[in-house]
Structure 1
Amino acid sequence: MKRGFEIVTKALPLDLELPQRATQQAAGYDLASSVDMTLPSIWKRGFFRAIRLLAQARALDEEQLENAQKILKPVLIPTGIKAYMQPDEVLVVANRSSNPLKRSLVIPNGIGIIDADYYNNEKNEGEIFVQMVNVGLTDRKIKKGERIAQGIFMPYLRADQEKFPTKKRQGGFGSSGK
Structure 2
Amino acid sequence: MDIIIRGENITVTSSLQDYAEKRISKLEKYFNAPIETDARVNLRVHNTEQVVEVTIPLQGLLLRAEVGEEDLYSAIDLAVSKLERQIKKYKTKLNRKGRHGAKQAIQNAGTTVTKTADEEETLSVVRKKHFVFKPMTVDEAILQMDMLGHSFFVFNNADDNSTAVVYRRKDGRFGLIDQE
TM over 0.5: no
Please indicate the TM-score interval, normalised by the length of the shorter structure: under 0.3
TM-score (norm 2): 0.26
Of structures 1 and 2, the one with the larger relative CO (CA 8 A, separation 6+) is: 1
Given the two structures, how large is their TM-score scaled by the length of structure 1?
0.27
| Higher Cα radius of gyration | 2
